[in-house]
Amino acid sequence: MTSHAFNLRRFWAVVVKEFIQMRRDRLTFGMMVGIPLLQLILFGFAINMNPKHLPTAVRVADPSPFARSLIWSLRNSDYFAITEVVATEAELRERLKQGRVQFGLTIPEDFARRLLRGERPALLLEADATDPAATSYAVAALTTLAETVFDRDLQGPHATLRAKPGPVEVRIHRLYNPDIITQFNVVPGLLGVVLTMTMVIITALAITRERERGTMENLLATPVRPGEVMIGKLIPYILVGYVQVTLILLAARFLFDVPMLGSVPLLLAVILAFIAANLAMGITFSTLAHNQLQAVQMAFFYFLPNILLSGFMFPFRGMPVWAQWIGEVLPLTHFIRIVRGIALKGNGVPDILPDLWPIGLFVVVMLSVAINRYRQTLD
Amino acid sequence: MKDDLAIDVRGITKRFGDRTVVNDIALQVRRGEIYGFLGPNGSGKTTFLRMLCGLLTPDAGSGTCLGFDLRTRAGEIKKHVGYMTQRFSFYEDLSIEENLDFIARIYGVAGRREAVNRSLEALGLAARRRQLAGQLSGGWKQRLALAACMIHQPALLLLDEPTAGVDPKARRDFWEEIHRLAAEGLTVLITTHYMDEAERCHRLAYIAYGNLLTRGTAAEVVAAAGLTTWEVSGPGLWELAESLRGRPGVEQVVAFGNTLHVSGRDAAALAAVAGEFSAAGRAWRRVESGLEDVFISLMETARDNWAA
């Protein structure tokens, strides 16, 4: 009954074979390196959740020193780029409708007079809020700015019109990413996204390919055991995963200046668990799929909730509870928290444990599903 | 006595859904024997082979393969059986040497490198060892497959249509090799569609629609069929064939070059037909029934019985 135990020799035979096949398959290997690079460029350079210099049209119905001060400080705030000055409300609306500007600011008639009379005149900021994310930081910036922008103009007897401090002082410390740099959030998350995308697809193809090419029949007729085939197939891809990790970490450090406050060896160790989770998922797909096309489709189906519900793209806490529950099942959700924690917060082992065990559990469950599903026979 | 049998199975049955693919087959194959397994496409030959080497689990039946129980010792059976699939199933993106090396590792062949080298030499592929298997022609792929499933020196070789699409010279070489191996004590169970190959086997079995219809040596199979065959030569054979079909006693009419083979199991009825159509310069002559006549007759009968 020795053939029922895990046999290192047969396991190693599978590992050697997989390495040779991987070496021969240049296209796939190229993709494994190309995908992280492409995503780094797309997400790292192209995505900015805190957009600045948004085109703004201004209608000044009351040209006064106050209007000049306001426009001057808008320009200085970095959020607004005043691209047009229009004469009528209709023109302003049209530009917003056509999407030529993100904001339309109206300084109404009698603004200066009513301001000096203490009537609290309204400044109207119309925002194209079709994309809430694009407008929210700028809107917040204007609100703050309006409190103090006229202080210089309100001298002498008018000084009483300046905004009075509220009963409490609110102090805000933006910890871990004080300058709200999107890359600091995206690039560590990208580490998880790239691994999820490539590791799942490539392993989903691994066993399906054997079945499609007819080599599975041969493999099943030999004494090789399911565990030996599965784990043997995974080893080369773990190495590929680390090649990707190295690429992304180097880019994070030298291209995007993402801080690395925590321990790199700890991160690399966590990555091993995360890669294992994705490989286990991929292998499970490959035991379910009948051909390579189905395997790729399953991998894509899996990829979608990972991108949307893991907290990579959208704030996790902004999701309804049911979506958060789905998110909690995905290893990517936990991995992204761990990576951001280690890189930006300097988290150590005790801090990441709550997110580490779910990944471990996922590996165990998926791998046992896979090994059960991998049939020793063709039945 | 029992030790003489490499394969000894009874009542082997396999169903896919409600379709019975292999129906209650019993088979005994002696060690060192070349056993031919014949039958039309889809008759269950491949399914039967797969059950013997543990790739499929029989729904019913029991028995031993190399003395190991078919149901409980599949792991042991796999170690001592070489199975050559119908379709080339080695890795096309591995070289010849790498394929052999992989299989040798999987079986834990002692002195692996020597075994691979020996195998390459025997194949005559030593010079092309680094060539990718996918670039080989059909004949060479078949030789590689045979070498690969022999590398762990199995006691039983299961060959599923090994010579399909292989040229006559390569087929002859292949059979020489099989006979040499059998002489050394290897048991071979081989499926084929070729009658000349059937005659090269020590014993045969014929299977159609999952049922084993006949077995024995080629001579025994022919004798057991009880078939009478007449050979007709002369003018207008094609028209004659048309008018003979459906006549009492005429079970099959097959054109063989410039002659017609007319067979049936009712010798008297057939003789009557021969008398009736012997005019117009046609010569009727009693000949020995060939394996092919027998098999076609068996297949037709089987179709009437099971496929209706």
Interface ipTM: 0.83
State the nearest Cα–Cα gap between A214 and chain B, in angstroms: 5
A207: left (phi over 0), alpha (psi -120 to 50) or beta: alpha
Which of A161, A195, A229 lies at the terminal end of a domain, its last residue? A161
- Pinpoint the residues of chain B covered by CATH 3.40.50.300: 2-222
User: What's the pLDDT score for residue A354?
Assistant: 95
Widest CA span in chain B: 72
Query: Domain with A101 in it: what CATH number?
Result: 3.40.1710.10
User: What's the pLDDT score for residue B307?
Assistant: 53
Instruction: Output the CA torsion B231→B235→B238→B243 (10° steps).
Output: -80
Are B112 and B70 in contact by the 8 Å Cβ rule? The answer is no
In angstroms, what CA-CA distances link B292 with B37, B199, B233?
14, 10, 19
Interface-testing mutation among A17, A205, A228, A233, with chain B (most B C-beta atoms within 10 A)? A17
The per-residue pLDDT for range A138-164, each reduced to its tens digit, is 888 888 888 888 888 877 777 777 777
The answer on A365 and A268 residing in a single domain is yes
The answer on A228 and A132 residing in a single domain is no
User: What's the pLDDT score for residue A376?
Assistant: 63
A223 to chain B: which residues are within 8 Å by CB?
A: 75, 78-79, 106-107
Q: Do A220 and B79 touch (CB under 8 A)?
A: no
Angle between helices B96-107 and B138-150 (to 10 degrees): 20
Q: Report DSSP state, residue A64.
A: S
Report the 10 Å Cβ neighbour count for A4: 9
Q: Do B89 and A213 touch (CB under 8 A)?
A: yes
DSSP assignments along A310-329, one per residue: SSSSS-GGGS-HHHHHHHHH
Domain count, chain A: 2
State the nearest Cα–Cα gap between B68 and chain A, in angstroms: 12
Q: Do B89 and A379 touch (CB under 8 A)?
A: no
Range in A58-72, A140-154, B129-143, B259-273 with the lowest mean pLDDT? A140-154
Gap between the Cα atoms of B92 and A213, Å rounded: 9
DSSP assignments along A234-302, one per residue: HHHHHHHHHHHHHHHHHHHHHTS-----S-HHHHHHHHHHHHHHHHHHHHHHHHH-SSHHHHHHHHHHH
Q: Do B108 and A9 touch (CB under 8 A)?
A: yes
- Pinpoint the residues of chain B covered by CATH 3.30.70: 228-288
Task: Collect the ranges in chain A with pLDDT lower than 50.
Answer: 1-3
Taking the CA of residue B298 as centre, how many other CA atoms within 13 Å lie in the half-sphere pointing to its CB? Answer: 28
The answer on A221 and A352 residing in a single domain is yes
Is residue A230 included in any domain, yes or no?
Answer: yes
Task: Determine the structural domain holding residue A124 and report its residue range.
Answer: 54-161
Are A205 and A237 in contact by the 8 Å Cβ rule? The answer is no
Q: What is the mean pLDDT of chain B?
A: 89
Q: Do B91 and A215 touch (CB under 8 A)?
A: yes
User: What's the pLDDT score for residue B34?
Assistant: 95
The per-residue pLDDT for range A324-370, each reduced to its tens digit, is 999 999 999 999 999 999 999 999 999 999 999 999 999 999 988 88
B57 to chain A: which residues are within 8 Å by CB?
A: 377, 379
Is residue A171 included in any domain, yes or no?
Answer: no
Is a pLDDT exceeding 70 seen at residue B2? no
A232 to chain B: which residues are within 8 Å by CB?
A: none
Give backbone dihedrals phi and psi of B215, rounded to 5 degrees, phi first. -160, 160
User: What's the pLDDT score for residue A2?
Assistant: 44
A3 to chain B: which residues are within 8 Å by CB?
A: 75-76, 78-79
The answer on A193 and A216 residing in a single domain is yes
Token digits for B42?
């889809």
Which of A116, A131, A161 lies at the terminal end of a domain, its last residue? A161
Q: Report DSSP state, residue A351.
A: H
β pairing state of A103-107 and A124-127 = antiparallel
The answer on A204 and A118 residing in a single domain is no
- In this structure, which CATH number among 2.60.120, 2.60.40, 3.40.1130, 3.30.70 belongs to the domain B228-288? 3.30.70
**Sheet order of strands, B187-192 included:** B81-84, B156-160, B187-192, B34-38, B203-208, B211-216
Q: Domain B2-222 belongs to what topology?
A: Rossmann fold (3.40.50)
Indicate the SS3 state at residue A357.
helix
Q: What is the mean pLDDT of residues B211-233?
A: 90
The answer on A234 and A335 residing in a single domain is yes
Beta-bridge mates of residue B192: B38
The answer on A363 and A282 residing in a single domain is yes
The helix/strand count (H/E) of chain A reads as 14, 4
Is residue A166 included in any domain, yes or no?
Answer: no
**Residue A378 at interface with chain B, using a CB cutoff of 8 Å:** yes
Is residue A170 included in any domain, yes or no?
Answer: no
Please name the residue of chain B whose CA is at the shortest distance from the CA of residue A17.
Answer: B102
Q: What Rg value do the Cα atoms of chain A yield, rounded?
A: 29
Is residue A167 included in any domain, yes or no?
Answer: no
Q: What is the mean pLDDT of residues B37-48?
A: 90
A10 to chain B: which residues are within 8 Å by CB?
A: 105-106, 108
CA nearest to B213, candidates B144, B275, B142, B299 = B299
State the nearest Cα–Cα gap between B56 and chain A, in angstroms: 5
B98 to chain A: which residues are within 8 Å by CB?
A: 17, 20
Is residue A379 included in any domain, yes or no?
Answer: no
Q: Do A221 and B79 touch (CB under 8 A)?
A: no
Those residues with Cβ within 8 angstroms of residue B291's Cβ, 6 or more apart along the chain or in another chain: B195, B198, B199, B204, B218, B221, B222
State the nearest Cα–Cα gap between B103 and chain A, in angstroms: 8
The answer on A32 and A119 residing in a single domain is no
Is residue A378 included in any domain, yes or no?
Answer: no
The answer on A113 and A230 residing in a single domain is no
State the nearest Cα–Cα gap between B29 and chain A, in angstroms: 20
Are B287 and B256 in contact by the 8 Å Cβ rule? The answer is no
Which of A161, A193, A219 lies at the terminal end of a domain, its last residue? A161
Gap between the Cα atoms of B62 and B65, Å rounded: 10
Indicate the SS3 state at residue B253.
strand
Give backbone dihedrals phi and psi of B231, rounded to 5 degrees, phi first. -110, 125
Instruction: Output the CA torsion A207→A210→A211→A216 (10° steps).
Output: -110
Please name the residue of chain B whose CA is at the shortest distance from the CA of residue A212.
Answer: B89
Token digits for B199?
């005659």
β pairing state of A103-107 and A54-60 = parallel
Who wins on pLDDT, B2 or A197?
A197
